[in-house]
Structure 1
Amino acid sequence: MAAAMLASSAIPAVAADGPASPAPTLTYAFSVRATLDPVVEQGEVDGGRRRFIPITGGTVSGPSLTGSVLPGGGDWQVIMPGGLTSIEARYFLKATDGTVIEVTNPGVRTAAPDVIEKLARGEVVDPSSYYFRTTPRFMVKDGPHAWMRRKVFVARGIRKPDSVVIDFYTVE
């Protein structure tokens, strides 16, 4: 009897023919254009080409956040054979009200190996020829931007020769 009651109060099984609820939607929040210094190449380590790209500044604009990118952050990358690049960027934003926001932005960039090499050399590449997505997290004090700690974000990146543009979306 107890087993039957426990089974009836259990979470219902997920439908085998589709999701149990509607898919989340994305809402555009803001864009970052980060300016970059030349790449620091570390070389081949543990099967991947390790690089560091210093962030020198930039701008933040959009309906949910405006401000600047503070100099001093960077993007740590590992280019793996076969066209996969692992990305881990860390930097600070400064909102127009003076609030400093820490960003940790891991992600991946994938493309054909020749496209990855063009990007690595700083060449102009059509963004439709590569996949560049991240899952940013924000650390910010209580106040007008604390909402950033209470949302899940995804972002799309576009690499330019001297900068990167990241469009941030909240998952609703």
Structure 2
Amino acid sequence: MTEPHPFLPKLEHAFTISIALSRPYWIKPAARGDMRAAIFAAEGVIEGPRLNGRVVPMSGGDYPLTRPGGVIDFDARYLLEADDGAIIYLQNTGFRWARSPEIAEKMRRNEPVSFDEYYMRVTPRFDAPEGPHAWMSQHVFVGVAEKVPNANRIHYFVVL
């Protein structure tokens, strides 16, 4: 058995964001040959040991690019409001892809699928005000996302 790498990062669950999404608006075919969409963050809830609050309704959304081969390249930006009233900017980039064409088709039809049937990860950046939430602008995070019908649930882990 090999020892873990001495620089192996430690992760700590910080919070989970559950986001209800608007219907997608498609640009197809887009000038680049890929398909682009706009999907807005209709509302959402933030729950966790390090942050609680809500997604500011319709404060932004995701502009995913669907690449040939079915990989979805995320670019989401919207606002969070902490329970203390602080406004926090969130930018998520990441990828989603299905582990089979059948699962991809189910996801396109917005049907439920099991978490292990697809890959969906994000790398967020936060712009938080000085004060109790400043730590968010000083750490790297990793998000593991769940696709649920008409919504996403993203579990955010801070890299220690």
Q: TM-score, normalised by structure 1?
A: 0.85
User: What residue is the counterpart of 2:40 in the other structure?
Assistant: 54
Query: Deviation above 2 Å: which 4+ runs of structure 1?
Result: 18-22, 112-118
* 3-state secondary structure, aligned to 1:63: coil
Alpha-carbon distance in structure 2 between the residues aligned to 1:20 and 1:61: 32
* 3-state secondary structure, aligned to 2:29: strand
* 3-state secondary structure, aligned to 1:23: coil
The share of aligned pairs that are identical, in percent, is: 38
* 3-state secondary structure, aligned to 2:116: helix
User: What residue is the counterpart of 1:134 in the other structure?
Assistant: 122
Gaps of 5+ in 2: none
Worse-superposed segment, 49-58 or 59-68: 49-58
The size of the alignment, in residue pairs, is 156
1:20: how far off? 6.6
Alpha-carbon distance in structure 1 between the residues aligned to 2:78 and 2:147: 17
Counterparts of residues 82-161 of structure 1 (less than 5 Å): 82-111=69-98, 112-161=100-149
Gaps of 5+ in 1: 1-17
Could you give the per-residue CA deviations for residues 94-134 of structure 1, whole angstroms, max 9, x where no partner exists? 00000000000000012234423322321111121110001
Q: What is the aligned-residue RMSD (CA, Å)?
A: 1.7
Q: TM-score, normalised by structure 2?
A: 0.91
* 3-state secondary structure, aligned to 1:135: strand
Q: Is the 8 A contact 1:91 1:102 kept in 2?
A: yes
